Amino acid sequence: MVDAALVWGATIVYAVIMIYLGYLGWKKTKSGEDYLLAGKNVKSWIIGLSYGSTFISTSAIVGFGGYAAVYGMGIIWLAALNILVGVLVAFVFFGKRVRQIGQRLKCQTFPELLGKSYNSEFIRWFVALVILIGMPLYAAAVLIGGAYFMSITIPGLAFSYALLIFAFITLAYVITGGLRAVMYTDALQGLLMIVGMIVILAITITTLGGVESANQQLTDLAPQIPQALRDQGMNGWTAFPSFLSENWFSVVATIILPVGIGVLAQPQLAVRFMTAKNAKTLNRAIPVGGIFLVLMTGFIFTIGAWSNVYFWNNFGQISFLAAGKDVNAIIPLYINTSMDQTIVVMFMLTLLAAAMSTLSSLFHVMGSSAGYDLWATVKKFSFIPQKWRGEETGKRSLRINRYATILMFIISLAIALAIQRSDGVIAIATAMFFGVCASAFLPLFVHTLFAKKPSKSAAQISLTVGTLVWFFWTLFVFTKDAVVFGLSKALFGTDSILSKPWSIIDPIVIALPMSTMALIIVYYLDRKSKTEITATPAK
């Protein structure tokens, strides 16, 4: 049992530091632009750590760590994609163009960037709407991951109270200090995550007798694969699933592809590029972000898979069974049973750091999408009083964004309380949001950044097709997601309106190619709305 005084003492110190950093951000946040883009002069190392810690949340540590325990080392490919796509491609090819376009068009948010690039209010409010529909589920998953470990670690702390405690701490520094406070706290949280993960991996390696011994023991556990997973094509924790099997689709199409590719179209990550003073700042941020992602994703996926060896050696069960068939419980259970109480507390703070760094960014993006982007369209309607239709500047803009952030916080918290015990919800909800962002935003985002004469019509059609197809496939075809929502069951009496293999194919596999094809076809048919828009980056 972890000493309660030690846990509460560490938690209080951590909370005070977070609030103090929020105060520092508040002192420098005097306008809507400060709140949204942190003054556009953030240091490179802060950008790198903020980008990495925003990307890596409890979804990666608890959710995907648990999935690595179930499906094995194959998920390491996601870590490789995170480095290649999430850092190198994102910073080198996307980041500089995003920063240049954002400065040229005076953009402060991801929806505004896409909307102004095409001179399309439709694109701006549609993108904001997709964010406001999809991101609360992702935020809820991050909330659950952080609160889950808190409730297990702190004696007598109920899950609902743990959820409220760390959610309100996060909200406090987001609404006061805006993006500057978010990035300040991200940097500290990122450093804490690095130290915590290195320590835990080192202890795991020592406990299992070294890297080679751990891998060999994990390979030798292949006969213990549950029959259900074996029937789905699983070959072992150190072997990749059989090609195109149900297990292969679970690992590749449901986890690796949506998160590995979807990172390029994440609004909360794209806005980091817009805070840089110049291109050199982004270049200097690359090694920081890259090293961070290697340490976090590569380490936790390895620890998750190796946890099977620990549980088998000490309890005679693989991780999934030892955790009561709860994927979300595997990593917390492993840490609590295998580590000294000081390390357990360190890991709890690591998880809180991971959760808060991502959650603060999500709250910030949802608040800006509602209070800045969507409001820009809504306030034009005739039923809105004339006194509210003016241009938001200074303190008024700041106030509206803060109110919107609080509203989205309440919605996310309500969803977290509603879905808290759903099996595997952390990783599933994360993959869903990354998938819808890739399907809806990625083709037109690439078109914005790299086409010499982008087509407004092609962008609008692609956005619409990608979004609608993704939601249709999620709600009515892909069984794993359709079961969660229950709409297909309610309307048609079945979890999926299509049989296998369609029912096991992730929505991104269908929606992303369709949105891409829609953009290409309309682009070549369109002869009116192509233009040398200001999306072309400045030299």
Distance CA 30, CA 409 (A): 22
- The residue assigned the tokens 């750590």 is 49
pLDDT of residue 312: 92
Tens-digit pLDDT profile for residues 181-190: 566 666 666 7
Above 80 in pLDDT, residue 501?
yes
504 versus 468: the higher-pLDDT residue is: 468
Tens-digit pLDDT profile for residues 412-462: 888 888 776 665 567 777 778 888 989 999 999 999 888 888 889 999 999
Distance CA 169, CA 172 (A): 5
Token readout for 162 is: 């743990």
CB 335 within 8 A of CB 362: no
Q: Which of 12-21, 191-200, 206-215 has the highest mean pLDDT?
A: 206-215
pLDDT of residue 42: 59
Token readout for 124 is: 């701006």
Host H or E run for residue 361: helix 341-368
Name the DSSP letter for residue 85: I
Domain 4-426: what homologous superfamily?
Answer: Sodium/glucose cotransporter (1.20.1730.10)
Tens-digit pLDDT profile for residues 357-410: 677 778 778 887 887 777 766 656 555 555 554 554 445 555 666 777 788 888
Query: CA distances (Å), 78 to each of 271, 477, 501, in order?
Result: 23, 25, 23
Distance CA 90, CA 103 (A): 18
pLDDT of residue 253: 78
Cβ-based burial of 206 (10 A; exposed 0-12, middle 13-18, buried ≥19): exposed
Above 50 in pLDDT, residue 122?
yes
Letter string b/e over residues 456-495, b meaning 16 or more CB atoms within 10 A of that residue's CB: bbbbbbbbbbbbebbbebbbbbbbbbbebeeebeeeeeeb
Token readout for 26 is: 């508040």
CB 154 within 8 A of CB 352: no
Query: Would you tell me how many other CB atoms lie within 10 Å of the CB of residue 36?
Result: 28
Confidence of residue 497 (pLDDT cuts 50, 70, 90): very high
pLDDT of residue 32: 47
Cβ-based burial of 387 (10 A; exposed 0-12, middle 13-18, buried ≥19): exposed
DSSP line for 111-140: HHHHHHHTT-HHHHHHHHHHHHHHHHHHHH
Q: Which of 65-74, 306-315, 422-431 has the highest mean pLDDT?
A: 306-315
> Helix or strand or coil: residue 57?
coil
Q: Which of 12-21, 58-67, 497-506 has the highest mean pLDDT?
A: 497-506
Cβ-based burial of 257 (10 A; exposed 0-12, middle 13-18, buried ≥19): buried
Query: Would you tell me how many other CB atoms lie within 10 Å of the CB of residue 497?
Result: 16
Above 50 in pLDDT, residue 36?
no
Average pLDDT, the chain: 78
Distance CA 362, CA 59 (A): 13
Instruction: Taking residues 317-329, report their average pLDDT.
Output: 85
**Beta bridge mates, 42:** 276
Confidence of residue 539 (pLDDT cuts 50, 70, 90): very low
List Cβ neighbours of 71 (8 Å cut-off, separation of 6 or more).
234, 237, 241, 247, 250, 251, 255
pLDDT of residue 309: 92
Name the DSSP letter for residue 240: P
% of the chain beyond a pLDDT of 70: 76
Letter string b/e over residues 315-344, b meaning 16 or more CB atoms within 10 A of that residue's CB: eeebbbebbeeebbbbbbbbbbebbeeebb
Above 90 in pLDDT, residue 473?
yes
Tens-digit pLDDT profile for residues 208-229: 889 999 999 999 998 888 888 8
pLDDT of residue 127: 92
Distance CA 13, CA 435 (A): 37
Confidence of residue 536 (pLDDT cuts 50, 70, 90): very low
pLDDT of residue 130: 92
pLDDT of residue 34: 47
Distance CA 432, CA 401 (A): 26
Name the least confident of 17-31, 81-95, 145-159.
17-31
pLDDT of residue 522: 92
Name the least confident of 247-251, 276-280, 388-392, 502-506.
388-392
Q: What is the C-alpha R_g of the chain? A: 23
Considering only CA atoms, which of 151, 184, 180 is closest in space to residue 166? 151
Overall size of the chain counted in residues: 539
Distance CA 152, CA 144 (A): 12
- The residue assigned the tokens 């999935």 is 67
Boundaries of every domain in the chain: 4-426
Above 90 in pLDDT, residue 472?
yes
pLDDT of residue 336: 82
